Amino acid sequence: MINTKLPYALILGASLLTAVLFGQDGVIEKWYPRRVPLNVEFVGDQACAECHQKMVASHALGGMGRAAESVAESKVLTANPTLVFRAGTYSFEIQRRGRESFYTVTDGKEKISLPILYAFGQGKAGQTYVLQYDGAFYEGKVSFFRELGGLDFTIGQARTVPDSLKQAVGRRLSEEEAFNCFSCHSTGGARERQIRLDKLTPGVRCEACHGPGAQHVRAIKEGEPGARLIFNPGRLSPDELTQKFCASCHQAIDDFSLPRTAEIKNVRFQPYRIFQSKCYSDDRRISCTACHDPHQPVKHDDTAYDAKCLACHAAKGQAAAQGLAVGCRVGTRDCVSCHMPKVAVADAHFKFTDHYIRVVKTAEKFPN
């Protein structure tokens, strides 16, 4: 149901509860990216950049900062002013017009043409388009894939000819699905059972993970202590950071049924995969931020992660003397290239790094 008092406000059921705790004097005790209270106001990245300029700038270039783009600023849509695709009798076209892009599908007799609302995904693997049609949010039937340089069926949607023109538009999102999409791809737009497009900033920005910054900024400007007035995920235990905080968007088995049934496609869900690892069960210091700095773009050079592995794994004699784990008998370089292989997901036209850290055996079946 649409709340007419709040522009573009989509109201969800009471099952999606807020789990944010504010202590005395505005101290943020708990904060989760997907559970933003309705009355919270964000100050925006520009306020953060007054003190953290380099960090804000580097974060904006990474995958989280570009998890969603406005249509006007979408690099994929700007670089590809005309994209076409055909499935049976249905023709799809994404056409650039000024600073807008329009998603059009036709069966040769009738057509539906809609302005793209937001572009989800940075375009590293691809980009999916969110539409509004018939009073609901839709995930476009086709998406852009970088490997193809063009369109194909959106991953997760049926790779078959649609039964109707309306079905060809894409998948109608339930209220909860729409909330999850916007809460993980944007900042401030999904708030306590509502989608507020008037409050939305594309991408996962500073306050999506650190919480509202107004009191923190005010305290710092007044020369007062402000560290406890902003949430630092580094305060969380490695377990809570990985299994609840990061996994709230990157998906864990407790929150989503898909990983149990998606087989090879579940390689996309990094927290779920790392939970399988003996490394994780043996040493809970391992967390997402043990290897990745969320303020920096992901490093794609395998050797960049060697130091992380060798910090815990050493030669047999050295390991026994220092209380470390025994290292690899094959080598000490490019560890992740063997123990975290890249796995191709055909529907995604992309190879994902498998975060199930293990000794990979030749010709083994993908471990689900």
pLDDT digits (tens, 9 = 90+) for 30-81: 888 877 888 888 999 999 999 999 999 999 999 999 999 999 999 999 999 9
Q: Is the pLDDT of residue 256 over 60?
A: no
* pLDDT on residue 30: 83
Whole-angstrom distance, CA of residue 311 vs CA of residue 299 = 18
For the chain, what is the radius of gyration of the CA atoms?
Answer: 22
* pLDDT on residue 2: 30
Q: Is the pLDDT of residue 361 over 90?
A: no
* pLDDT on residue 11: 32
Q: Which of 343, 347, 321 is nearest to 270 (CA)?
A: 343
Q: Which of 176-185, 238-247, 322-331, 345-354 has the lowest mean pLDDT?
A: 322-331
Query: Which residue type, as a one-letter code, is found at position 147?
Result: E
Both tokens of residue 281?
Answer: 């069960």
Asked if residues 101 and 94 have their Cβ atoms less than 8 Å apart, the reply is: yes
Q: Is the pLDDT of residue 261 over 80?
A: no
Q: Which one is predicted more confidently, 23 or 15?
A: 23
Asked if residues 331 and 337 have their Cβ atoms less than 8 Å apart, the reply is: no
* pLDDT on residue 216: 93
Q: Is the pLDDT of residue 103 over 90?
A: yes
Confidence of residue 280 (pLDDT cuts 50, 70, 90): confident
Beta bridge partners, 86, equal 91
Phi, psi (degrees; rounded to nearest 5) at 290: -65, -30
Global pTM value = 0.86
Query: Which residue type, as a one-letter code, is found at position 154?
Result: T
Confidence of residue 9 (pLDDT cuts 50, 70, 90): very low
Query: Which residue type, as a one-letter code, is found at position 231?
Result: F
122-167 confidence digits (pLDDT tens): 999 999 999 999 999 999 999 999 999 999 999 989 999 999 999 9
Residue 164 CB neighbour total at 10 angstroms: 9
* pLDDT on residue 12: 36
* pLDDT on residue 244: 86
Whole-angstrom distance, CA of residue 189 vs CA of residue 184 = 10
User: β-strand 136-140 against 170-172: which pairing, if any?
Assistant: antiparallel
183-236 confidence digits (pLDDT tens): 999 999 998 778 999 999 999 999 999 999 999 999 999 999 899 899 999 888
Mean pLDDT of the chain: 86
Please compute the mean of the pLDDT values over residues 100-119 and round it to a whole number.
97
Tell me which H or E stretch contains 177.
Answer: helix 175-185
Tokens 């791809």 sit on residue: 185
Q: Is the pLDDT of residue 324 over 70?
A: no
* pLDDT on residue 39: 81
Both tokens of residue 265?
Answer: 């496609």
* pLDDT on residue 22: 62
* pLDDT on residue 308: 87
